[in-house]
Structure 1
Amino acid sequence: MGGADTRLRAAVVGTGLIGGSVLLRLHAAGLDVAGWDPDGATRRRARELGVPAVERLADAVADRDVVFLCGPLPTLPATLVEVAAATAEDCLLTDVGSTKAQLAAFAAERGLTHRFVPGHPMAGTDRAGLTAALPELFHDAAWVLCPAPGPGLPAFRRLAALVMDVFAARVVPMAADRHDAVVALASHVPHLLAGALAGAAERSPLRDAVLALAAGSFSDGTRVAGTPPERTANMLLGNRAEVLAALGSVTAVLDELAAALRAGDRATLTAGHAEGRDARVALAGRPTVEVRRIFPPAGGGDELRFLHELGAAGGHLDGCRTTGDGVEYSARRLVAEPGGRPVAPLG
């Protein structure tokens, strides 16, 4: 699928920050794209930006090759059913919700695995709505896609190629339940911590003085507290069990540090923060090595295993080419750190 392939017809359902950014990027890439949002003012704003936005959802998705479902998390199951009924069997469907396991299971129960690929672009800002949307939002961002076995693999291949080609994103293939466990610690708990820190400042009798002296550490640590609270609540409740488990691991570390502080234990405080610094340094990037794999057209367990293991090991795809002979993936995987944790083999 080429970035300027106008034969591909796309639709975006829900055009807030993420959906709007998807819509604007598809439009900028020259694809035939239509948007729909339940809010009339948002539809008018899209048209002001030169992007077609129709009045009825069914008209937006009719005769489309791919539809992105970008509404609020609680609405996605019903929207998926509605859009699936209004589109052809070969129309590819995906979402951008921040939790995956429940929706993946819902789609499987309704026989949609052959054309629905759960997705989650790991990008955003603390603003909301189409007015905050950016066509370049996903450039070089991780975009999780959850491949399913059997008939789900061809749909995954199609969508992975599109996401890499049009959005210039790094596709991270991952099992849906593993995704939810990972983002609980990588994204959802940070929202809780940011809300707690900002909330403590708001309740403090020294609130104004605290905010006047707040430096980069406070600003960085509370950035996502500016996210619309309804969106944060949807995210946390949609992944409640995993978030609570991840929060338990965070509070265990925090309790260790607090105990060391009470005891005046400099060595434990230093060691604990050194451990945290190691993770922070690794966040800036670790070296990777290229991996290539070829699988038969029909797919199978080996292909699915390779994809799941790649994402679980911190790797990503940067190419997916399907031919009559099969599918060829090019990927990047992490290189083991000297003296650090080993990197598991793939497939």
Structure 2
Amino acid sequence: MCPVPNGDAEVGRLAGSAGGPARAAVVGTGMIGGSVLLRLRDAGLDVAGWDPDPATRRYAREQGFACPDTVEEAVADRDFVFLCGPLPSLPGMLSRVAAATDEDCVLTDVGSTKAALAAFADTRGVGHRFVPGHPMAGADRAGVASASPALLDRAAWVLCPDPAGVVAFRRLAPLIIDVFRARLVPMSPTQHDTVVALSSHVPHLLAGALAGAVQEAPLRDAVLALAAGSFRDGSRVAGTPAERTANMLLSNRERVLEELTRVTDYLDKLAGAVRAGDAEALTSRYRAAAAARTVLAGRNFASRERAFPVAGDADAEVAYLWELGAAGGYLSGCRVDAGTVSYIAHLPADAGPV
């Protein structure tokens, strides 16, 4: 696998819209937003934060951050703004921040669903500078005290480019790659929501079901006394703050229910084999399931480069990016130079041409 560029060495390449050093703001400084804030500062960017909670703003100031009392002050004259509040707050905050920033300011978010917010941005006329985003990292904790500059390090970070906003994507992508050392996964908003339903949202349902069943079990304390790695791993995200989990599941409800059916169908087949005492069927299905775990544990990637004219067909460029993400690939480079935008892509070695 090709190494991701060193963020601290590359951040000097990130210029603001006026030609000077890039300036960023983070709106919502809980665990994820606080981690973004810390990493941006550690990388040497001029960064300001804002949070609706006065105590959190005071804490940020005590840590040496610029953290004004109004979001409008925090985002003024910034080149990039990260929206990191709870999912239900994002549409309203996007409108507020868009009104308080220049046309050259690129807006993004870190929410766990993308299609609804992308559509909202389009209806508000800011889709050309809003790039929906989702870093695939986190913890079963909340609050700024849980933030860490390393939390998002080398994470898979989804960005959702759109032909109307391809210029904003080209500006944001190097920041995500170079500062966070991220594996940037480009996807359409719909692709993202479909994929995370099975990779993230349904696992939260399963973890809640497992931990909840134990909580209600007659021998709960005995079960917990014997709980080993399988229970701890399978129930870990049940410890995520309940409101955050509920917001995530409800914001992607249709796709979550669709993918949950896929999981319950497979579970029914496993249970049917147990009920029938069919060792052969049970073994076969667990071997098939193990194949996914094997791929997750280690996968070989092949590097490919692709270039597009800056003033060329944005639809073709975005179609390539969406296809790359859908094929399991990611970007480790995005550079605009001499009228050309160049991408360094990495695809699973067994993937077809993209």
Tell me the TM-score range normalised by the shorter chain. over 0.9
CA distance in structure 1 between the partners assigned to 2:252 and 2:110 by the alignment? 15
Structure 2 counterpart of 1:119, from 126, 130, 133:
133
Structure 2 counterpart of 1:345, from 340, 346, 353:
353
Q: Is the 8 A contact 1:315 1:333 kept in 2?
A: yes
- Spell out the pairing of 1:54-65 with structure 2 (5 A cutoff): 54-65=68-79
Q: Please state how far the C-alpha of 1:298 moved relative to its aligned partner.
A: 2.1
Percent identity (aligned): 63
Q: Does 1:47 align with 2:61?
A: yes
Per-residue CA deviation, residues 237-272 of structure 1 (Å, 9 max, x unaligned), is 000000000100000000000001000000111011
Q: Does 1:147 align with 2:155?
A: no
CA distance in structure 2 between the partners assigned to 1:51 and 1:260 by the alignment? 58
Per-residue CA deviation, residues 62-101 of structure 1 (Å, 9 max, x unaligned), is 1111100000001100000000000001100000000000
Aligned CA RMSD, in angstroms, stands at: 1.2
2:231 is aligned to 218
2:241 is aligned to 228
Q: Please state how far the C-alpha of 1:229 moved relative to its aligned partner.
A: 0.2
Q: Is the 8 A contact 1:126 1:228 kept in 2?
A: yes
Structure 2 counterpart of 1:83, from 97, 104, 121:
97
Structure 1 residue matching 2:11: 3-state secondary structure: coil
One-letter amino acid of the structure 1 residue matched with residue 353 of structure 2: P
Q: Please state how far the C-alpha of 1:225 moved relative to its aligned partner.
A: 0.5
CA distance in structure 1 between the partners assigned to 2:178 and 2:337 by the alignment? 17
1:307 is aligned to 321
One-letter amino acid of the structure 2 residue matched with residue 344 of structure 1: G
Q: TM-score, normalised by structure 2?
A: 0.94
Q: Does 1:267 align with 2:280?
A: yes
Structure 2 residue matching 1:222: 3-state secondary structure: helix
- Spell out the pairing of 1:275-294 with structure 2 (5 A cutoff): 275-294=288-307
Q: Please state how far the C-alpha of 1:324 moved relative to its aligned partner.
A: 2.7
One-letter amino acid of the structure 2 residue matched with residue 219 of structure 1: R
2:17 is aligned to none
Q: Please state how far the C-alpha of 1:37 moved relative to its aligned partner.
A: 0.4
Per-residue CA deviation, residues 288-339 of structure 1 (Å, 9 max, x unaligned), is 1001001011242221111001000000000000013210000100011xxx
Structure 1: where are the runs of 5+ without partners? 337-342
Q: Please state how far the C-alpha of 1:226 moved relative to its aligned partner.
A: 0.6
Q: Please state how far the C-alpha of 1:196 moved relative to its aligned partner.
A: 0.3
- Spell out the pairing of 1:96-115 with structure 2 (5 A cutoff): 96-115=110-129
What is the total number of aligned residue pairs between the two structures? 339
Q: Please state how far the C-alpha of 1:105 moved relative to its aligned partner.
A: 0.6
2:4 is aligned to none
Structure 1 counterpart of 2:195, from 176, 179, 182:
182
Q: TM-score, normalised by structure 1?
A: 0.96
1:38 is aligned to 52
CA distance in structure 2 between the partners assigned to 1:152 and 1:344 by the alignment? 27
Q: Is the 8 A contact 1:24 1:51 kept in 2?
A: no
1:128 is aligned to 142
RCO comparison, higher one (Cα < 8 Å, 6+) = 2
CA distance in structure 1 between the partners assigned to 2:21 and 2:315 by the alignment? 32
1:239 is aligned to 252
Per-residue CA deviation, residues 32-89 of structure 1 (Å, 9 max, x unaligned), is 1000001111111112222221111110001111100000001100000000000001
- Spell out the pairing of 1:148-167 with structure 2 (5 A cutoff): 148-149=162-163, 151-167=164-180
Q: Which runs of 4+ in 1 moved over 6 A?
A: none
Structure 2 residue matching 1:333: 3-state secondary structure: strand
CA distance in structure 2 between the partners assigned to 1:49 and 1:275 by the alignment? 50
Structure 2: where are the runs of 5+ without partners? 1-6, 15-19
Q: Is the 8 A contact 2:110 2:133 kept in 1?
A: yes
One-letter amino acid of the structure 2 residue matched with residue 326 of structure 1: T
